[in-house]
């Protein structure tokens, strides 16, 4: 007897799921229906008919039959198959805490884990998007994180589920070359590579993967991982990845989807992050870029008032990434920077560039030119 309480997936998601799992679609006489076939070794051919919409005749019955067929074929409950179909456009991260947390955790721990997971994904997205568009990496990363979804905890232990959007695969019949892997998938694979370097299953830690911004964790991600491990107040965290079958993972990630990370990794991650940051202090005396932030308690037009601080943030494109640099300016230079921010043209400043916390600051700065 089937469970009629389960909400069936939409026909569109069902078609995508079938195609991603090797079913071949063919047209029928009715434009409202498609037949999907799959060759089963030694068992002939399986067939299911999927309607274009639920509104067509017997549409709901056909969808239910297709889902029930998949449940038997995949040997799992109907509810799990429906969840898998509904999640076809997402990569899923399941993060488990030890069995000591099977029933509940304190609210402060829950808050820390959620916030620090968000930061880890955000920094991973910035690193990935910066490979193609350094100036827009932060905005793209913010948009990516906003589209991620938070799922409920799952049976068996306490944990969190994060659904990362990856999008559908276009019809390749109309493309001259295979479509590029979405940046959203590359973000998740970047996280997987970093975790693989510190997972307990690894024969030894791999600092090269951890510290290579091109493929794994950069300094921001390393510090975020350390904060996540410390904030969980547990001996280890288990990360499980369920990638959308519409996009095949890179070969180096195809065999392992679970990573157990011990809390002691936090110290290692912070050490490598510090090494990376110290090595990345710029030697330049000049920077140029767009003003992204203004900060002053004074009237920027009052050049006679020399009290208070006048600070701007400049997005400086250097090397392989965009750096946000705080710049302390004289009142007259601040007015130019204020205008540059409003009219969106770059400025160039000269001064002493120093490390300041996780970022940089230019002291005794002098405006060279607005270059608008």
SS3 367: strand
Least confident window among 139-143, 228-232, 269-273:
269-273
Is the CB of residue 314 less than 8 Å from the CB of residue 292?
yes
Among 120, 94, 108, which Cα is nearest to 228's?
120
pTM metric for this prediction: 0.73
Residue 126 pLDDT > 70, yes or no?
yes
The share of the chain scoring above pLDDT 90, in percent, equals 35
Among 148, 157, 163, 156, which Cα is nearest to 105's?
157
Query: What tens digit of pLDDT does each residue of 308-318 get?
Result: 567 888 888 76
Question: Which band of pLDDT confidence, cut at 50, 70 and 90, is reported for residue 283?
Answer: low
Question: Which band of pLDDT confidence, cut at 50, 70 and 90, is reported for residue 67?
Answer: very high
pLDDT at 372: 44
Among 282, 325, 335, which Cα is nearest to 305's?
335
pLDDT at 320: 57
Average pLDDT on 5-23 reads 91
pLDDT at 120: 95
Helices and strands counted in the chain (H then E) = 10, 13
**Furthest-apart CA atoms within the chain: distance in Å:** 89
Question: Which band of pLDDT confidence, cut at 50, 70 and 90, is reported for residue 299?
Answer: low
Is the CB of residue 69 less than 8 Å from the CB of residue 48?
yes
Rg (CA), the chain: 26
Residue 56 pLDDT > 90, yes or no?
no
Between CA 157 and CA 155 the distance in angstroms is: 6
Tell me if the domain spanning 286-369 has CATH number 2.60.40.
no
Among 61, 60, 82, 62, which Cα is nearest to 71's?
82
Among 318, 120, 124, which Cα is nearest to 215's?
124
pLDDT at 214: 64
pLDDT at 231: 92
CB hemisphere CA count around 89 (13 angstroms): 16
What token pair was written down for 177?
């070359």
Query: What tens digit of pLDDT does each residue of 188-230 get?
Result: 999 998 898 888 755 455 555 555 656 678 888 999 999 999 9
Tell me the range of 42-46, 185-189, 198-202, 334-338 where mean pLDDT is highest.
Answer: 185-189
Between CA 129 and CA 136 the distance in angstroms is: 8
- Torsion sign, CA atoms 147, 157, 227, 208: negative
DSSP state of 25: E
Between CA 362 and CA 365 the distance in angstroms is: 6
Residue 343 pLDDT > 60, yes or no?
yes
Residue 306 pLDDT > 70, yes or no?
no
pLDDT at 342: 86
DSSP state of 42: T
Residue 182 pLDDT > 70, yes or no?
yes
Query: What tens digit of pLDDT does each residue of 164-174 get?
Result: 999 888 776 55
The rounded Cα 130 to chain-centroid distance in angstroms is 13
Between CA 53 and CA 30 the distance in angstroms is: 13
Is the CB of residue 223 less than 8 Å from the CB of residue 242?
no
pLDDT at 282: 62
């Amino acid at each position: 007897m089937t469970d009629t309480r389960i909400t069936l997936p939409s026909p569109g998601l069902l078609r995508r799921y079938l195609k991603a799992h090797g079913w071949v679609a063919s047209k029928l006489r009715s434009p409202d229906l498609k037949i999907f076939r799959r060759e089963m070794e030694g068992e002939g051919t399986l067939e299911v008919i999927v309607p274009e919409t639920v509104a067509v005749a017997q549409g709901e019955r056909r969808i239910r039959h297709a889902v029930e067929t998949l449940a038997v074929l995949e040997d799992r409950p109907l509810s799990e198959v429906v969840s898998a179909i509904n999640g076809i456009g997402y990569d899923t991260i399941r993060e488990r805490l030890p069995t000591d947390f099977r029933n509940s955790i304190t609210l402060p721990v829950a808050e820390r884990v959620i916030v620090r997971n968000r930061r880890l994904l955000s920094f991973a997205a910035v690193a990935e998007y910066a490979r193609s568009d350094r100036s827009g990496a932060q905005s793209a990363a913010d948009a990516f994180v906003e589209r991620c979804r938070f799922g409920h905890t799952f049976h068996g232990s306490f944990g969190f589920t994060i659904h990362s959007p990856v999008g559908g695969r276009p019809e390749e019949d109309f493309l001259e070359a295979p479509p590029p892997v979405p940046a959203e998938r590359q973000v998740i694979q970047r996280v997987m590579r970093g975790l693989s370097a510190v997972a307990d299953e690894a024969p030894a830690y791999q600092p090269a993967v951890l510290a290579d911004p091109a493929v794994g964790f950069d300094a921001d991600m390393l510090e975020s991982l350390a904060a996540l491990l410390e904030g969980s107040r547990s001996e280890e965290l288990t990360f499980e990845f369920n990638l959308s079958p519409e996009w095949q993972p890179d070969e180096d990630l195809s065999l392992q989807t679970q990573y157990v990370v011990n809390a002691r990794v936090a110290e290692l991650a912070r050490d490598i992050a510090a090494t990376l940051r110290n090595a990345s202090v710029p030697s330049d005396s000049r920077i140029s870029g767009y003003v992204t932030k203004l900060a002053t308690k004074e009237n920027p037009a009052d050049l006679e008032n020399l009290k208070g601080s006048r600070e701007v943030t400049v997005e400086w494109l250097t090397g392989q990434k965009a750096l946000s640099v705080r710049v302390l300016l004289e009142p007259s230079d601040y007015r130019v920077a204020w205008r540059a921010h409003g009219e969106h043209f770059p400025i160039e400043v000269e001064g002493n560039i120093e490390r300041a916390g996780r970022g940089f600051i230019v002291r005794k700065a002098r405006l060279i030119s607005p270059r608008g």
